[in-house]
């Protein structure tokens, strides 16, 4: 029998540097395609993984995230042309959340920006951005390099995450503030640690060369008996994300460059990200359109909702006075920690500050039959869950 071994470029999905360690633990055989990679959706019980995020320490593979190195004499000027926020205010050794827009002021993607040196940044994104970055870089003395394959990423999240890193021998990690970046020696190489994450809890993201990925995984998992380190998949992380009130590309809004209908595009104002738009820093992509929108008003707003009852309102329609449809839910769950029925929704801007009269039309599948129910809802602040340990410095041991 001929052995039909696939070449890497023929494989339907790529595997991350942590795949060989994760596959034997993925008892549920529940996998997810993320950016061309096969990643774990759940290892076993999603609820168990979720509670591990909130009560111990967890590992989540973020290697499929796109990573771009931007360096050169014009790096700051280029980043300020690209982003809506002032990249110069992100100091070396610090990270920040950011969005970038097309010329119409619609969000192409969001992500984190690491300022590694005076003239060097790293942009982390959900979608592939190489072409957009190169086009935006015309006329700037910068190099834009896709380094996604050169960096393995692992999110260590949960109340015991700092204790785990201290046990790993990372001196000074407890003193890192949220969005700090630090580099440590690790097994003859470098380990970059950022106090960032997508769970709204105490947590860090660890970045190493792919050839050190399995060693890092093994050393962290070896602490499982003492610190209850548990691998988790995307389903559990998404539950924590919703509790944190974080929006996600292609879940809560569509990337502007991927939509078939232009009405589906959203501006930073429509995503309730006004605080990320700095008109005082000079010109940036989409600035004129956003200035116009600031004067004329936005069409939509993203809001947090507290919904009556316990039935998750995923994909629910939102009505005002049970008569006029004014929005829809994009992310929802019954929060096990907050003990609330919560949702992230897009509402018509005129209804985004209504204090009463909002209803959710919820559809629930019971043994193949869809039942419809309505529930009162009210607009609330995000995050829905915000533990003090998330920002405590020095990080607390639990």
pLDDT in tens, 106-147: 999 999 999 999 999 999 999 899 999 999 999 999 999 999
Residue 175 φ then ψ, to 5°: -85, 0
- Cα angle 311-315-318, degrees, rounded to a multiple of 5: 85
Residues of the chain with pLDDT under 70: 1-11
pTM, whole model, 2 decimals? 0.94
- Cα angle 33-112-31, degrees, rounded to a multiple of 5: 15
Ranges of each domain in the chain = 12-63+151-244, 66-149, 299-381
DSSP for residue 285: T
Residue 395 φ then ψ, to 5°: -60, 140
Q: What CATH topology corresponds to 12-63+151-244? A: Gyrase A; domain 2 (3.30.1360)
Superfamily in which the 299-381 domain is placed by CATH: Aminomethyltransferase beta-barrel domains (2.40.30.110)
**What is the distance between the alpha carbons of residues 109 and 92, in angstroms, rounded to a whole number?**
23
Q: Which residues contact 138 (CB under 8 A, 6 or more apart)?
A: none
What the block records as the tokens of 359 is 């209803």
| Alpha-helical regions (H) of the chain | 19-22, 46-55, 75-82, 130-136, 161-167, 213-221, 224-227, 234-244, 287-296
- Cα angle 46-197-66, degrees, rounded to a multiple of 5: 95
Query: What is the CATH number that goes with domain 66-149?
Result: 3.30.70.1400
Domains 12-63+151-244 and 66-149 share a fold: no
**What is the distance between the alpha carbons of residues 392 and 188, in angstroms, rounded to a whole number?**
31
H/E run at residue 188: none
Q: Which residues contact 86 (CB under 8 A, 6 or more apart)?
A: 80, 278, 280, 281
pLDDT at res. 1: 41
């Amino acid at each position: 029998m001929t052995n039909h071994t696939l070449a890497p470029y023929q494989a339907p999905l790529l595997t991350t540097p942590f795949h060989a360690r994760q596959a034997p633990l993925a008892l549920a055989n529940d996998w997810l395609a993320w950016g061309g990679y096969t990643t774990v959706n759940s290892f076993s019980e999603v609820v168990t993984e979720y509670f591990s995020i909130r009560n111990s320490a967890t590992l989540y593979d973020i290697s499929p995230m796109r990573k771009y190195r931007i360096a050169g004499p014009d790096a700051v000027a280029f980043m300020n042309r690209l982003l809506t926020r002032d990249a110069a205010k992100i100091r070396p050794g610090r990270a920040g959340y950011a969005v970038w827009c097309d010329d119409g002021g619609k969000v192409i993607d969001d992500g984190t920006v690491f300022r590694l040196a005076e003239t060097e940044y790293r942009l982390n994104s959900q979608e592939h951005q190489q072409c957009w970055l190169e086009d935006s870089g015309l006329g700037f003395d910068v190099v834009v390099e896709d380094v996604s394959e050169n960096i393995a990423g692992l999110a260590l999240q949960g109340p015991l995450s700092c204790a785990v890193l201290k046990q790993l021998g990372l001196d000074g990690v407890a003193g890192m503030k949220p969005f700090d970046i630090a580099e440590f020696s690790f097994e003859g190489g470098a380990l970059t640690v950022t106090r960032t994450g997508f769970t709204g809890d105490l947590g860090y993201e660890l970045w190493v060369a792919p050839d050190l990925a399995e060693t890092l995984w093994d050393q962290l998992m070896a602490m499982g008996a003492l610190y209850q380190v548990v691998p988790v998949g995307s389903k559990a992380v998404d539950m924590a994300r919703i509790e944190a009130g974080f929006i996600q590309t292609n879940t809560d809004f569509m990337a502007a460059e991927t939509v078939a209908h232009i009405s589906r595009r959203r501006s930073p104002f429509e995503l309730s990200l006004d605080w990320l738009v700095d008109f005082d820093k000079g010109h940036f992509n989409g600035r004129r359109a956003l200035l116009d929108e600031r004067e004329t008003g936005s069409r939509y707003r993203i809001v947090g909702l507290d919904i009556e009852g316990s039935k998750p309102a995923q994909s629910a329609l939102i009505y005002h006075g049970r008569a006029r449809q004014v929005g829809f839910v994009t992310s929802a769950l019954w929060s096990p920690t907050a003990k609330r029925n919560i949702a992230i929704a897009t509402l018509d801007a005129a209804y985004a500050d209504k204090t009463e009269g909002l209803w959710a039309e919820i559809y629930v599948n019971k043994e193949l039959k869809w039942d419809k129910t309505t529930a009162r809802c009210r607009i609330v602040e995000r995050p829905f869950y915000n533990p003090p340990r998330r920002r405590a410095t020095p990080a607390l041991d639990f």
